[in-house]
Amino acid sequence: MRPGIALIGLLVCMLSGIWILCVGSPAQAATTERIVVNRFSGVAIEGFDPVAYFVAGTAVQGTAEFEANLWGAVWRFRNEGNRASFLAHPEVYGPQFGGYDPVDIARGVIIAGNPRFFAIAAQRLYLFSREANRDAFAANPERFLYEVGKRWPALQDKLSQ
């Protein structure tokens, strides 16, 4: 390939915002947001009700009828009681680490958790990118939380404010 054409291609990649795709480097983070949200709607954790994990013990889809805005995200709930509980104690009911997978964080990468793979440990909600991570965490949450404690502050600084 001629050097002029290669330079033009490189400039197009840089200017179009797809630099990572052009050079082929893998992205380390699934997103750059502090809370895992749908980038088009702003809805957190795919619209699942964060309180329902504690009350029902399962992932339950919330509705647009019962929404709340907090931490730059739209949260959905299945009823007004769950919405009120979340707003009174978001630090308890909101997913830890903004919904990012603590097993991946312990490894030094930021990957969004899937609301269908969850665990409640020490009265807190954790979401996982895959079932194997949830199972590993459930076997020894203290080990993963210790590693996350060392890595999360630096990784969190990489996320947008």
- The pLDDT tens digits of the residues spanning 80-128 come to 999 999 999 999 999 999 999 999 999 999 999 999 999 999 999 999 9
Q: What is the residue extent of each domain of the chain?
A: 1-27, 31-158
Q: Which two tokens stand for residue 3?
A: 């050097």
Beta bridge partners of 73: 70
pLDDT at 33: 77
Check whether 136 has a pLDDT greater than 80: yes
Grade residue 160 by pLDDT with cuts at 50, 70 and 90: low
Find the helix packing angle between 131-139 and 141-158, rounded to 10°. Answer: 120
Percent of the chain with pLDDT over 70: 79
Does 22 have pLDDT greater than 90? Answer: no
In the 3-class helix/strand/coil scheme, how is the chain assigned residue by residue?
CCHHHHHHHHHHHHHHCCHHHHHCCCCCECCCCCCCECCCCCEEHHHECCCHHHHCCCCCECEEEEEEEECCEEEEECCHHHHHHHHHCHHHHCEHHHHECHHHHHHCCECECEEEEEEEECCEEEEECCHHHHHHHHHCHHHHHHHHHHHHHHHHHHCCC
Q: Which pLDDT value is given to residue 161?
A: 52
Selected residue with higher pLDDT from 58 and 16: 58
